[in-house]
Structure 1
Amino acid sequence: MATNFDLAPPPAIVDGLQAVPIDIQSIDARLTFDGATASGTADVTLQFAMGPVAGHPVFDLRQTITAAWLDGASLAPAKLAEHDFGGGANAQLRIVEVSLSAGTTHTLRLTYDLGPPQAPTIGSYLPEMAWSAGPRLHFNFGFTDLAPGRYLEAWIPANLIFDQFALTLEIQIVGAAIAHTVITNGAVTSIGTNHWSVAFPDRFTALSPMLEVRATDALSSATGSVVLPLSAQTVNIEAWKLASNAENLATQIANLQSWLAGNETAIGPYAHGNQFVAYINVGGMEYDGGTTSSPGALQHETFHSWWARGVKPASQDDGWFDEAWTVFNVDNPSSPLPFDFHAPPVTLCPRNAWVRNSAAGSYTQGYRFFEGAAALLGVGVLKSLLRAFYPLHLARPFRTPELEEFLVARSGNADLVDAFHRFVYGFDDPAPMPDLWLHDAPSDPGSDFWPGAFWDSPDLWVRNADDGGTSHQSPESGQDNWFYARVTNRHASAAARHFIVCFNVKNFAGTQFVYPADFLPCTAAAASFDLGPGQSMIVKARWPKADVPPAGTHACMLAAVLTRSERPAAGAHVWEHNNLAQKNLTIVDLAPDAVYLLPFVVPAQLTARARRYDIELVRPAKHAGMVATLVHKTGRLFADKAQMRRPAARARTLSRPPDLSKTLRECGHFDGTERPRGSTATEHFDAAAETDFPPGRVSKISISLKPNESALFALRLKVPAEARRGETLRLDLVQRAAGAKPIIGGIAAEIHVK
């Protein structure tokens, strides 16, 4: 049973009740309209699941409930009262005053008389149930983003818009001989005269279904079709209007054919099957594959079938985006205009999960945000990035931080963090500035400069599943993995209202990395909020399986914490700024006497002349005589040629091929079964020049690099014969400038003896 609890608001204590979100699985509603009494009634059953927290279920309905049953037992309507959740005027929700266990499933049946929804009357096309001579019924859902309680909950009990569910409507008109027609984006089945069943798919949310019921003789319609250019799908177009409306439907069909095809070309595949339904009237409101719209707003509303009702907001906090992006693409010029960071902050996403209407500035200030983003990235790049964002978020609603994370990760432009901070979340510049920090080592006190080992940060780790674990796991290729980071705010009084952690993977083991070139663009990013003084917070980001390197890849995980007005200077290394961290640790299972080859890169140094560096090996205290060799293809870079040798070509690098089926690669996956003799690395270093590290707990070999020269080496390790099964051998390879104490690079290896 799929649920969207991760997108739901958190449980809250409201009027002494533990109010908890639910996940509606299906809604079955029977709407009966009686022409003889000019009335309507509803009988609705919800099937829903409780989430991970026990408590009182939350839902909404803007009608007066006359009877209710929970799991078949009668429940007084007073036990379903409305409560204020702090979302603003008219944003109240109903709470079921029965506590239910976590992880359980239930049914809630409600009956009520249909009347005007108890919600604000905002917009040019209001929800209505009205009768005229005949009798003739006019019924329409009349949704709007601009007021609370004006989605499905206006007529039918529903959830907040994070939730996706199947909806079946049975609609019957009695006491009226005149034929009526249903206009909808659902699948209609005729049951009898003026009697229909309408099914809406389980990807719909409370803002998705479109419904109009009108007397047939009051309507005029036209149809057409278009073959879309990417999907090659034929979309059947229905256009409707009142018979008294002079609008030319053939013209609007032609417009829709052009817009649907153009949108698919510019954005991506149409997500709503083989139909698009337009009711040409007044105002403008989007639905999934449909719209009620004036002619002037029709192109805008059609665009929304990609942005707003294709990619959907997970809350009204997130509803600003689709209006802003539609205005940028349809209504106003797609032009760049740099951000003015002296302008007042703008709150488009208030980060209040109980808000029930989109921000008033979505159309204007939201458009201004995308002008600024276009100035940072370029109009073409911005549109290309959003085109890439689109297919990733069709399956379920998205949150605003996901948009920020995607744009920062893909573009690598750190200034977007400042833009979201001030002009989306509405935060002013921090004063004083927080001091965010990732440990380089367990003993790292947090200052920017750290002279110790920095290549195995305890604040970075990988999990194979989104399970909240805090121990590091080897990345598994062929599946999603998850990056985790623990961020600490060192400042004694300043809070970090908003920050983002960028995770990047370099597909080689390197002794050092430089910001921003090695950190941005990045593999994934995680935005977070409200890290108080002295506090720590764990953030996570999905590592998509397509980006997880294949088995056998030597790689390193990097992380950078970015917040408004605080970020590393260009050219900074991990040890030079506390916002940066890396994890460059290889773990491998080997038997005694086995030999292991670990390639690594010594990056280019920005120097004016050739320099010597010491490559220092720190062995386990119990195995100070462990055989270790530094290998280079030509040997040109070894400073002491007298100690260098070039052995005959080997048949294989592994003197005793170990069983590496359980090998762990902690910074990039390594599966020993895919690293046999004959691999590229083995062949590259076969018969290469090599120099042995002298025995001792700490020993070194000197190398010489030209200005801006990087070099590929390998560390060859032999497991001591006396090593015992179950023993762990930890080695660090350290880079220093020759004769100097400061560490400027390093990698680590951990051998689990089997």
Structure 2
Amino acid sequence: MQTTILFSIIGLLYLNSAAFAKLDMAPPNFTINKGQGNAVFVDFTSADYEITYDVKKATTTVISKIHFTNEERGFPIFDLVEKPMRVVIDGKSTDSQIIEAPRSGEDELIEFRIVSEPIDPGNHLLVIEHQIKSTQYSKGGVNSGFFMSDIGSRALLERYLPCNFEYDQLSMRFMIKVIGATEEEVIFTNGKLKQEGNNLWSIAFPNYFNQSSVYFHIREKAGTDILHFEHRSIDDRNMPITIYKTSRGDMEEYKNLTVKTLSKFENLFGAFPHPTLTIYIGGNGGGMEYSGATVTDAWALPHELAHSFFGRGVMPANGNAGWIDEAMATLVGGPYAADPNDIRAMNMSNHSVYYRDNDSNGYTYGMNFLAFLGIQFSKKNNALNMNGFLKTWMEIADHHVTTVQMLQNNLENYSQLDLNSLFQKYVFGKSKIINKFNLPNPHMKIDDETLTQIQ
């Protein structure tokens, strides 16, 4: 009874953090331009992206309209890898620039983009126009995917669109327009897709999404093998599933593995936490997760489906929390087996507060650490185990962002154990061992060559 009450309280804290305190999870603002002002993190309240593909000109132009609030005067922080052609803040033309975050320890260079105009606290409208350079055009059509990676910095949605950071959840809407296409196009997405006209579509994404959630892929329908079916979820809904790939062949292998894995995870952790599931078999040796979607190969599919629960169901609020979902997804979905006897004192969460990478030790030592904790829980009470914790955590934290401290608090409330010394040693330690096992990473790194292959 005591554990149930404590988890109910933590659940209320998750609800409050998502609804009222997004900026409480943002990193600290910091001084730039030799003391001329502060770079300030902001709260995006909505983002509308008008994306135009011009087949004859082979150009992809995006006009973004972003409503946001800030609590302190300063230069608003956001990110976009491509340099904008036009920046307008509250009707005033300005510019943007790349800045460096304050350095901490051995962490590498961390960059953000800011609006070059300082603004007062309040509600604001930011309009940005830019072009996406990675689109592939043929004589009659377009192939464009917003494929992301958590291997390396600045490789999530900011690779394609101006966006905020993982702590921020918001409503996003795409308006997709294709000009001059003679080939039929098809769109795959984890948002709500609506045909608005000839070669004109809108996509509305759920308001719990953040910069790592969105899945979008438009490509020529010819040469795309598509399978649609439904899965009877544990909550009695018929969940639409789409599996597609760019090569012909039997899709039953992927369908059977998907249904088998979903049934296993739903029995362990509850109903699949998203309205639909989209799977692109094109992982180029690995995969990447989105909220209710994945790019993957068959060997990594269970790992990537686990991420729709852990990582894109309960989502990391920052880079220091990035190891959590990799540890959980690998523990329950492979492709490696946990060794609870092999845990190491190391730094997985003691990076800079501005850290934007994903500590690769989560796949191995992070997974082993969770397995070790599960054994300690069972020693205290044989009714407790790590799968039991993960099920309860999904019930209270699904569709919210989390920090390492929130994870520790939840683990302690579930087990009634003091885990502080263990976290200080095995999570916030000083040693830095990078993927010592030299195992293949279930995730793929997105570079220009990979984009060419999978779009």
TM-score tier by shorter-chain length is 0.7 to 0.9
2:84 pairs with 1:84: no
Question: 2:278 matched to which residue of 1?
Answer: 277
2:23 pairs with 1:19: no
Question: 1:198 matched to which residue of 2?
Answer: 203
Aligned-partner residue type, residue 137 of structure 1: V
In 1, are the aligned partners of 2:313 and 2:400 still within 8 Å (CA)?
A: no
Aligned-partner residue type, residue 119 of structure 2: L
1:106 equivalent among 95, 120, 124: 124
CA distance in 2, matches of 1:204, 1:354: 21
Cα shift at 1:192: 2.2
| Structure 2 gap ranges (5+) | 1-18, 432-455
Question: 1:129 matched to which residue of 2?
Answer: 135
Give runs of aligned pairs for residues 494-573 of structure 1, distance below 5 A.
Answer: none
Give runs of aligned pairs for residues 68-467 of structure 1, distance below 5 A.
Answer: 68-75=87-94, 77=95, 80-86=96-102, 88-89=107-108, 91-102=110-121, 104-115=122-133, 128-132=134-138, 134-229=139-234, 231-242=235-246, 244-246=247-249, 248-273=250-275, 275-282=276-283, 283-331=286-334, 337-338=340-341, 343=344, 345-378=345-378, 381-414=385-418, 416-427=419-430
Question: 1:50 matched to which residue of 2?
Answer: 70
Describe the SS at the equivalent of 1:353: coil
CA distance in 1, matches of 2:326, 2:164: 22
CA distance in 1, matches of 2:203, 2:340: 46
Give runs of aligned pairs for residues 659-674 of structure 1, distance below 5 A.
Answer: none
1:28 equivalent among 19, 39, 48: 48
CA distance in 1, matches of 2:265, 2:374: 20
Describe the SS at the equivalent of 1:298: helix
CA distance in 1, matches of 2:228, 2:387: 32
Aligned-partner residue type, residue 277 of structure 2: F
Describe the SS at the equivalent of 2:402: coil
Aligned-partner residue type, residue 126 of structure 2: L
Cα shift at 1:2: 4.3
Cα shift at 1:44: 0.7
From the superposition, tell whether residues 206 and 335 of structure 1 become closer, same or farther in structure 2 (CA, over 3 Å): closer
CA distance in 1, matches of 2:304, 2:25: 25
Hey, which of these two has a bigger chunk of strand by percent? Answer: 1
Describe the SS at the equivalent of 2:360: coil
Give runs of aligned pairs for residues 625-644 of structure 1, distance below 5 A.
Answer: none
After superposition, what is the alpha-carbon deviation per residue over 1:301-358, rounded to whole angstroms, capped at 9, x for unaligned?
Answer: 1111101100000011101011111111121576563466xx5x31111242311110
Q: Structure with the greater relative contact order (CA < 8 A, sep ≥ 6): 1 or 2? A: 2
In 1, are the aligned partners of 2:78 and 2:113 still within 8 Å (CA)?
A: yes
Cα shift at 1:175: 1.9
Give runs of aligned pairs for residues 476-491 of structure 1, distance below 5 A.
Answer: none
CA distance in 2, matches of 1:377, 1:97: 51
After superposition, what is the alpha-carbon deviation per residue over 1:70-119, rounded to whole angstroms, capped at 9, x for unaligned?
Answer: 111211x2xx10100146546311122333223x100000111221xxxx
From the superposition, tell whether residues 421 and 270 of structure 1 become closer, same or farther in structure 2 (CA, over 3 Å): same
From the superposition, tell whether residues 181 and 9 of structure 1 become closer, same or farther in structure 2 (CA, over 3 Å): same
Describe the SS at the equivalent of 1:362: helix
Question: 1:5 matched to which residue of 2?
Answer: 23
Describe the SS at the equivalent of 1:371: helix
From the superposition, tell whether residues 40 and 333 of structure 1 become closer, same or farther in structure 2 (CA, over 3 Å): closer
Percent of matched pairs sharing the same residue: 24
From the superposition, tell whether residues 245 and 149 of structure 1 become closer, same or farther in structure 2 (CA, over 3 Å): farther
TM-score computed with the length of structure 2 as normaliser? 0.84
After superposition, what is the alpha-carbon deviation per residue over 1:363-420, rounded to whole angstroms, capped at 9, x for unaligned?
Answer: 1121221232233223951221222122221242000111111112321223x32221
In 2, are the aligned partners of 1:421 and 1:427 still within 8 Å (CA)?
A: no
For structure 1, which segment, 375-384 or 386-395, has the greater mean C-alpha deviation from structure 2 after superposition?
Answer: 375-384
In 1, are the aligned partners of 2:64 and 2:129 still within 8 Å (CA)?
A: yes
In 2, are the aligned partners of 1:317 and 1:355 still within 8 Å (CA)?
A: yes
CA distance in 1, matches of 2:109, 2:271: 37
CA distance in 2, matches of 1:107, 1:331: 44
In 2, are the aligned partners of 1:30 and 1:171 still within 8 Å (CA)?
A: yes
Describe the SS at the equivalent of 1:422: helix
CA distance in 1, matches of 2:353, 2:225: 41
Cα shift at 1:360: 2.0
CA distance in 2, matches of 1:178, 1:63: 28
Describe the SS at the equivalent of 2:363: coil
CA distance in 1, matches of 2:101, 2:147: 24
Describe the SS at the equivalent of 2:152: coil
Bigger CA radius of gyration = 1
Describe the SS at the equivalent of 1:306: coil
Question: 1:65 matched to which residue of 2?
Answer: 84
In 1, are the aligned partners of 2:338 and 2:367 still within 8 Å (CA)?
A: no
Hey, which of these two has a bigger chunk of helix by percent? Answer: 2
Question: 2:438 matched to which residue of 1?
Answer: none
After superposition, what is the alpha-carbon deviation per residue over 1:450-482, rounded to whole angstroms, capped at 9, x for unaligned?
Answer: xxxxxxxxxxxxxxxxxxxxxxxxxxxxxxxxx
In 1, are the aligned partners of 2:321 and 2:349 still within 8 Å (CA)?
A: yes
Cα shift at 1:61: 0.5
CA distance in 2, matches of 1:2, 1:408: 25
Describe the SS at the equivalent of 1:41: strand
CA distance in 2, matches of 1:14, 1:361: 32
Describe the SS at the equivalent of 1:81: strand
TM-score computed with the length of structure 1 as normaliser? 0.51
CA distance in 2, matches of 1:183, 1:90: 34
Aligned-partner residue type, residue 100 of structure 2: D
Cα shift at 1:187: 0.8
Aligned-partner residue type, residue 130 of structure 1: Q
